[in-house]
Structure 1
């Protein structure tokens, strides 16, 4: 696990080694163990290393082919690197390291762009092919590892790398807010477009590679997708396939030359991974003063005792969370208001005291159908027996009535799944978001502008599969995986996700819909498979998520005043009707309504904006050469 930054040299003369050094310093938390630079007259590359496999200096990056013509910077892990290595050795290639990185070098020399089809892992990399004068840049199929790029520069420089913040020290980079990003963010709670909150900075989509030649992006190509192709089979066959494939994935994901632990909540996903891994230690986080309401750590401790694992726990206070929020948003690069980012930050900090690698349960809900959204209510199923035309008439009638649970139900009952479901996260009602935004920020795409392109890829699937595919395409890489990467890397720790494995997905694609979600349960087949490793209480426990007591915090005078100060700040008036923002805060503080998510999402954006556009000099450069020095600079 590491981080890299690179650029195609522009037309302005600059000191490339000094510039890339400054850029590397902003992501030193991703790789505190060592750094390396490649600079020539066309391309400049910088790398920060967190040593996981082959801890020797010979595995440091940038890594070069034997003839020096191919240069690699790579972030992630290739879990099938040994089988690829044997294949390449049989073809006459010689390896000087025991790392997975070298497989990419020789693999590209042998297979070219087809290399990506062979890889099983989480990765983002750049290969500089000097002989053919091209850059080959790729990202894993799920988007576990982030990868950004931009041409928004003053001199044709093209910049790419693991984190946007590393673009900022480049003298040609044009730092500008993308006004179109705020509108969809308020509803989604994360940056849902390919273009980020920085104008002209894009995310390379998961499962895509990019080729740059002659300072031009020549192609962006999709090489793998996650579309389901369910086949018929018994539930017994499905359960057996899940058990075998997930167990093998956990085995592959535990390969490491450093200590490996496990994040553990009380839910089935992380519990199943921990039960298969059986690490020495598991790690859990709860909240001070809310142990009875927002706490799964007792479940984690109980399961750890059953499995014979030592469980390390931490209880986080509201004060700690609010104090850390600017640092969290700085690490996130873009505003991200999923409240679970906060405990994940502290969970990673806790784990880093004992291990360098952790396994976690992300992805099981999206792949196996775990969200309650996916399971239609009995009432809705019954209502949908009424002809659609009549339901639309009823929806038209109630449109003029005040919003409540009944009118919402009747309106949803007249909608297709494409109209009704925009993803796992829904925060601001879209009309409420438009009402609170200033005119310049209402011009961004609607949520349906964003979701319709995904739905268009699976027009003939059933509703459950359509919802899963949407979440796999938007919510998973945009929210779940981004915060997992950024919060773990903030503390120089590698987070691995065995459910999000190429072989697991290929198996899961074939699972019949009724084995994923049915009238009995969500994630039905996975729960049955987990019974072999877990007590029934854990295998069948309903999903709780990672609840954070923000609605209670906002009713404390201290935090009410803190947020009101942000909502009424002069810079907030650029984006929001601040009187309306404060009215939501006041109504919540008085206990009249629960507007916690509205408040948090707007507040997080303002915290992020202040970090990057007002207090940016404070965050631009972070220095340090060891993990302890990085931690003291980044986290104090």
Structure 2
């Protein structure tokens, strides 16, 4: 993998590739008649410098596993995977991308048209600006040039007419659920084992290889696969212990598992001063102050930064949670949850890991995100993914078949930021620097907003709570979008509140309001949602949408699909929140929530018009427990409107 950049101005491209020197050993630019492409080379397969020119010109960041197979099939004689990608585009156009097994991000110019595209999952990044049109592999590189950019959505191909300076997009289809009910559990586990071995084998480079290692089932499964395939490797882990904090669990466990399995392991224990020094760098590298992203990046960074080896490639277990329902927030329709996780993995995880690995001189490889493995995972019945209180049940069975020790295969999951203690380190540093919250501390390192977003709002508590949480994460809510449905029983939109109430909220929040009318017909109303989001994107330049969904898969999935076709990211910060804790949090934060309508046994009309406060919230929660209704009203048990906001959002 490498780095790519492009702009009309050659000097701009030279500056961009200079900012991305950490992504490779050499930098090149090539000027066409009206546009310049740049490339930073991190060579793993061959030493062919880019941009490459034939009929068209290509600058690519790619890792294509079937490039030799494509050569044989088509009678080509290319030197590496990038040259094969050029052949695919020259002879088959973007339709030929369907034949590629691998990951990529590229810019291709031919006949006055520039094409930007990424692999469907978005493993390899592209960020771009519309005015002026300029792009690069890293947002940080564009920020350094004063360019405000957005991430190219992996399911969109961008086409740019260089002469007319006009941009258009072509939509690509994503993976689909195709459950095979006749599949037996043992059969599914055996298939996973075989497909996983193939996924690891095709990603093994000729030289040395590293492995990010926590001793959990995912990283240990990779280790077992590498051993099965006879590949030597070094595993890396990192953690921190400070004050009266216990030793990092993942680090201790990784050392125990490595000894049991004969794995060469390098462990690094950071100190608080190092963390304080490195955090500002990481927030700059990943262009984000997210507590989770930075907490996960720290053990990743310290593991690789202190490596004594000189490998170019490191393996990671990222992706297993999305494939096999490893997160506790994945409830209900598990395969839909898995698919939703795969849709958003480029935003949640992939860009962070791509940038941190390159900053430490590594190319990251992700066998769980193999195309065949993904397609197979979406055929597995949900009851095999969560069974007997174990998440990722079928994967654990596969791990045992591959030789992962039983105590590892069935060990519970601890998120990287917690198992390494780096989340506690951020908390300690926030307190030491007189910040009330970790988020405030991290926000202090960036003078730029993370994202510009549109918030869907019905005027109720959930949509307002969602935008509040997103704002606190250093994002800008550029506008609100409300859909006024003529159908009061709409499956998607709550239009029981009066328009004047939502307009009042817009004024209180000082956020512009976009109003989109809809007849509220099932499924057809999604076209109205698309039109409203399109207006928000055109008028306010938003790159994502905030939804207040807590448990409605029906609503969340439809927002996902509509947003994706507009190239928008989706953020649902309340998803699968514990509803009782959430209701108490609302009151504690300072929201004034009025119940406007009740429709549940146990809730009398006396509750209508009542504003929830500390003195009555427990009564509501007690009724929810007694009469078995959703504490947050997710089943339509009651409706709300916000009549007062916390000071931070006004």
TM-score range, shorter chain: 0.5 to 0.7
CA contact (8 A) 2:117 2:157 kept: yes
1:226 to 175, 184, 196: 175
1:466 maps onto 2:336 in alignment: yes
**Aligned residue number for residue 219 of structure 2:** 270
| Selected match of 2:207 from 252, 258, 263 | 258
SS of residue matched to 2:391: coil
The alpha-carbon deviation at position 503 of structure 1 amounts to 1.1
Cα distance change on mapping 1:503 and 1:537 into 2, 3 Å: same
1:62 aligns to what? 51
Q: Which one of the candidate residues 4, 8, 27 is aligned to 1:35?
A: 27
The counterpart of 1:79, out of the listed 37, 55, 65, is: 65
> How big is the alpha-carbon RMSD for the aligned residues of Structure 1 and Structure 2?
3.2
Q: Distance in 1 between matches of 2:304 and 2:394?
A: 30
**Could you say what secondary structure the match of 1:125 adopts?**
strand
Q: Which has the higher contact order (CA 8 A, sep 6+)?
A: 1
Q: d(CA) in 2 for partners of 1:74 and 1:542? A: 39
Displacement, 1:271?
Answer: 0.8
Counterpart check, 1:288 vs 2:212? no
- Post-superposition shift, 1:536? 0.7
Using a 3 Å threshold, how does the CA distance of structure 1 residues 40 and 369 change in structure 2: closer, same or farther?
A: same
Equivalent residue number for residue 406 of structure 1: none
Deviation at 1:206, TM superposition (A): 2.0
Task: From the superposition, tell whether residues 35 and 569 of structure 1 become closer, same or farther in structure 2 (CA, over 3 Å).
Answer: closer
Please tell me whether residue 3 in structure 1 is matched to residue 3 in structure 2: yes
Asked if the contact 1:142/1:477 (under 8 Å) is kept, the reply is yes
Residue 344 of structure 1: aligned partner: 300
Of 315, 321, 326, which aligns to 2:280?
A: 326
Could you tell me whether the CA contact under 8 Å between 2:156 and 2:171 is conserved in 1?
Answer: yes
Give the C-alpha shift of residue 541 in structure 1. Answer: 0.7
User: How many correspondences in the alignment?
Assistant: 445
The DSSP-based 3-state class of the residue aligned with 2:187 is helix
Q: Distance in 2 between matches of 1:121 and 1:560?
A: 45
Change (3 A) 1:523 1:3: same
The one of 132, 136, 152 aligned to 1:204:
152
List runs of 5+ in structure 1 lacking aligned partners. Answer: 10-15, 176-197, 376-461, 577-597, 607-636
Kindly indicate whether the alpha-carbon contact (under 8 Å) linking 1:208 and 1:224 is maintained by their aligned counterparts in 2: no
CA distance in 2 between counterparts of 1:319 and 1:79 reads 42
Distance 1:217 1:27 in 2: 27
What corresponds to 1:44 in structure 2? 36
Asked if structure 2 preserves the Cα contact closer than 8 Å seen for 1:50 and 1:492, the reply is no
- Deviation for aligned residue 1:522: 0.9
TM-score (norm 2): 0.63
Summarize deviations over 1:363-394 as a string: whole Å, max 9, x none.
0000111112235xxxxxxxxxxxxxxxxxxx
Shift in CA distance, 100/518, structure 1 to aligned 2, threshold 3 Å:
same
The verdict on how the C-alpha distance between 1:247 and 1:493 changes in structure 2, with shifts beyond 3 A counting, is same
Measured in 2, the distance between the counterparts of 1:282 and 1:487 equals 17
Alpha-carbon contact 2:88-2:97 (below 8 Å) kept:
no
Q: Does the CA-based 8 Å contact 2:125-2:137 persist in structure 1?
A: yes
What displacement does 1:234 show? 0.9
Contact preservation (8 Å) 1:147, 1:161:
yes
Paired with 1:5 and 1:104, the residues of 2 have a C-alpha distance of 17
Deviation at residue 362 of structure 1 after TM alignment: 0.2
- Partners of 1:253 and 1:268 in 2: how far apart? 19
Cα-to-partner distance string for 1:130-183 (whole Å, 9 max, x where unaligned): xx2211211111111111111133xxxx1122012322465xx6x4xxxxxxxx
Cα 1:123–1:329 shift into 2, 3 Å? same
Q: Secondary structure at the match of 2:390?
A: coil
What's the CA shift for 1:574?
A: 10
Q: Deviations over 1:296-346 (max 9, x none)?
A: 122222222333221011011122112111110111023332111222221
- Please list, as runs of the form range in 1=range in 2, the aligned pairs for 1:4-403 lying within 5 A after superposition: 4-7=4-7, 9=8, 16-31=9-24, 33-54=25-46, 56=47, 59-65=48-54, 69-89=55-75, 93-95=76-78, 97=79, 99-129=80-110, 132-153=111-132, 158-168=133-143, 175=147, 198=148, 201-213=149-161, 214-232=163-181, 233-254=183-204, 256-278=205-227, 279-289=232-242, 292-338=246-292, 339-351=295-307, 353-375=309-331
Does structure 2 retain, via aligned residues, the 8 Å contact 1:260–1:358? yes
Per the normalisation by structure 1, the TM-score is: 0.65
1:82 to 1:568, Cα distance in 2 relative to 1, 3 A: closer
1:39 Cα deviation (Å)? Answer: 0.7
Contact residue 336 and residue 605 of structure 1 kept, 8 A: no
Alignment counterpart, residue 351 of structure 2, candidates 482, 488, 511: 482
Which structure features the higher share of strand residues? Answer: 2
Among 376, 380, 384, the alignment partner of 1:515 is 384
